[in-house]
C-alpha cells in the first residue's frame, strides 16, 4: 500500500473520530453526596451581591431574581445543616491595604472603585454589621451558629489566596457541593481550583447568578464552563434531595 494511501486512510479515521466527538453528548460523571466526606461551600453570600441595597445589584439583580438565587442558597444552607454536613463560607473582603495594589484586572478596578466588600481593617469589625461586606441577613442563622467554617478572605476570585483547601482537607472533605456568588467570577474560580486540587465538585446551577452587562452575560458563560469542567451540574432541588439522601 502506498504511503500516501495510508496517510489518507488515517486522516479519514481521524476526521470521523473528531466528527463523532463533535456531535456527541458530553459525559455526565455525576457525584455521590455523602455527609462523611462531602461539604457545602458557599462563595460570597454577602449584601453587595445578594441584597437590592448592594453596590452590584444594578447588574446582578436580574440574574439573582430570575434564578431565585437568594432562596435557593437558603435552601442549601438549611438542608446541609439539617442533615449533618460541614458547611464552609469563602468570603470576599477588601481592607485599606488592598487599595494600594499597583495593577488590577477589569473587575478588580470596578470593585475597588465602588467600595465593594470594603472593611476598615483585617482586625476590625467597625461598621461591618449590615454593610455590603456583611452576610445577607437571612443567612446569619446558618453562618453564625458556631459550626460553619468561615475561611480567610479570597482576594481576587479563587481560593488560591485563602485557606479553604486547607480547611477542607483537615476535615477529611473530598467532595464539594458549590454555590454562591458570582457565577463566572468567584464561584467558577473556586470550582476550577478545587478540581485542580483533586476534589470532586457538583455546582448548583440555580444557587448562583452573575452580572448581565453590554459586554456579556456572566451567568450564561459560567454555565458552559460548569458543565465542561465540574463532576456534576445540578439544581437546588436535586442538591437538597441528595443532601437528604446522603446523610
Write the DSSP string, the chain: --HHHHHHHHHHHHHHHHHHHHTSPPP-------TTTEEEEEE--BHHHHSTTSTTHHHHHHHHHHHTHHHHHHHHHHHHHHTT-EEEEE-B-B-GGGGG-S---HHHHHHHHTTTTB-S-TT--TTTTTSTTSBPGGGHHHHTSS-SEEPPPBSSSSGGGSSHHHHHHHTT--EEEEEES-IIIIIHHHHHHHHHTT-EEEEETTS----EETTEEHHHHHHHHHHHHSSEEE-HHHHHHHHHHT-
Which residues, including other chains, have CB under 8 Å from residue 79's CB and lie 6 or more apart?
239, 240, 243, 244
- Confidence label for 221 from pLDDT (cuts 50, 70 and 90): very high
- Rounded to whole angstroms, the Cα distance separating 137 from 150 reads 16
- Position 194 scores a pLDDT of 98
According to the model, what pLDDT value does residue 20 have?
A: 62
Give 39's strand partners. Answer: 86, 176
Average pLDDT, integer, range 62-89: 98
**Is the CB of residue 175 less than 8 Å from the CB of residue 39?**
yes
Does the pLDDT at position 22 exceed 90? no
For the four alpha carbons of 83, 84, 86 and 89, in that order, the dihedral sign comes to positive
Under the banding of pLDDT at 50, 70 and 90, the label for residue 8 is low
Which residue reads 469542567 in cell numbers? 229
pLDDT band at 95 (very low <50, low <70, confident <90, very high): confident
pLDDT in tens, 106-157: 768 778 787 778 888 998 999 999 999 999 999 999 999 999 999 999 999 9
Predicted TM-score (pTM) of the model is 0.88
For all residues of the chain together, what is the average pLDDT?
Answer: 91
Nearest to 186 by CA among 168, 162, 167: 162
Q: Per-residue pLDDT for 208 more than 60? A: yes
Second CATH level (architecture) for the domain 32-245: 3-Layer(aba) Sandwich (3.40)
- Contact (Cβ atoms closer than 8 angstroms) between residue 202 and residue 170: no
pLDDT category at 13 given cuts 50, 70, 90 is: low
Residue 37: pLDDT band (50, 70, 90) is very high
Q: What is the pLDDT of residue 1?
A: 46
Question: What is the tens place of the pLDDT at every residue in 148-206?
Answer: 999 999 999 999 999 999 999 999 999 999 999 999 999 999 999 999 999 999 999 99
Confidence of residue 6 (pLDDT cuts 50, 70, 90): very low
Question: Quick one: 18 exposed, middle or buried, by C-beta within 10 A (0-12, 13-18, 19+)?
Answer: exposed
Domain positions in the chain are 32-245
Amino acid at each position: 500500500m502506498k504511503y500516501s494511501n495510508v496517510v489518507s486512510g488515517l486522516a479519514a479515521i481521524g476526521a470521523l473520530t473528531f466528527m463523532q466527538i463533535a456531535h456527541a453528548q458530553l459525559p455526565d460523571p455525576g457525584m455521590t453526596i455523602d455527609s462523611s466526606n462531602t461539604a457545602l461551600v458557599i462563595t460570597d453570600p454577602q449584601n453587595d451581591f445578594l441584597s437590592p441595597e448592594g453596590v452590584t445589584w444594578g447588574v446582578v439583580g436580574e440574574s439573582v431574581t430570575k434564578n431565585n438565587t437568594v432562596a435557593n442558597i437558603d435552601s442549601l444552607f438549611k438542608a446541609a445543616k439539617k442533615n449533618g454536613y460541614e458547611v464552609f463560607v469563602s468570603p470576599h473582603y477588601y481592607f485599606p491595604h488592598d487599595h494600594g495594589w499597583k495593577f488590577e484586572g477589569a473587575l478588580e478596578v470596578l470593585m475597588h472603585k465602588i467600595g465593594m466588600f470594603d472593611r476598615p481593617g483585617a482586625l476590625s469589625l467597625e461598621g461591618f454589621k449590615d454593610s455590603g461586606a456583611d452576610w445577607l441577613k437571612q443567612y446569619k442563622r446558618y453562618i453564625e451558629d458556631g459550626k460553619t467554617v468561615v475561611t480567610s478572605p479570597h482576594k481576587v476570585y479563587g481560593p488560591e489566596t485563602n485557606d479553604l483547601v486547607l480547611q477542607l482537607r483537615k476535615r477529611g472533605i473530598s467532595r464539594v457541593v458549590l454555590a454562591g456568588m458570582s457565577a463566572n467570577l468567584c464561584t467558577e474560580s473556586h470550582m476550577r481550583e478545587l478540581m485542580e486540587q483533586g476534589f470532586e465538585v457538583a455546582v448548583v446551577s440555580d444557587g448562583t447568578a452573575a452580572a448581565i452587562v453590554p459586554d456579556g452575560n456572566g451567568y450564561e458563560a459560567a454555565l458552559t464552563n460548569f458543565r465542561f469542567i465540574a463532576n456534576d451540574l445540578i439544581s437546588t432541588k436535586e442538591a437538597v434531595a441528595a443532601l437528604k439522601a446522603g446523610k
